[in-house]
Amino acid sequence: MINIISAIISIAICTGCSTQATMAVYSQPEGAYITEVGTGKSWGMAPVSVAYNAAALKQHVNSEGCYLVKGFKAQWVSGASSLLDPIKLCGSATGNYNISLAREASHPNLEKDLQFALQVQSINAQRRQAQAASDSAAAALWSAWSTSQQNNINCTSTPIGDSVYTNCK
């Protein structure tokens, strides 16, 4: 019960106090390497998550009220690439956004990128299965441990004369 109350208090304290916007960057097909335009900063293989400080975003508002951020370049294993720059985030400075960079089908070696995307999906499925197995094992271990921690006490009371004697084991 105390854990539930603590969780509710934590949620109540943190509600409304987000200081950042988050953007998920996807690629179609999956598995493109994502870099930031202008800085060349590497974000890794899509999908990636990018956080923006809300105060910094508010300094880059356009005439439409949207926040302008540096764009991204997606590069697939075939060499095909896609660019989106700048990116307009229209909404809250503490919102969640999603963008997807699509590979042009006319670029050669589409099959290579599709095959790589299948491999990425297979690896991700294996990771999810391994995590589920790990979670299940941890739950079983916790259950076994918590069951073994229960101390069962058996007591018997016996009246002898004007007294009652209780023996507990």
Q: Tell me what the mean pLDDT of segment 12-40 comes to.
A: 86
Conformational region of residue 47, where left means phi above 0, alpha means psi within -120 to 50, and beta covers everything else = beta
Closest CA to 97 of 65, 120, 121, 67: 67
**What pLDDT score was predicted for residue 155?**
86
> Which CATH architecture is the domain 19-128 placed in?
Sandwich (2.60)
Most confident of 1-5, 68-72, 141-145: 68-72
Instruction: For residue range 109-121, list pLDDT tens digits in order.
Output: 999 999 999 999 9
Instruction: For residue range 40-68, list pLDDT tens digits in order.
Output: 999 999 999 999 999 999 999 999 999 99
Closest CA to 51 of 36, 65, 66, 73: 36
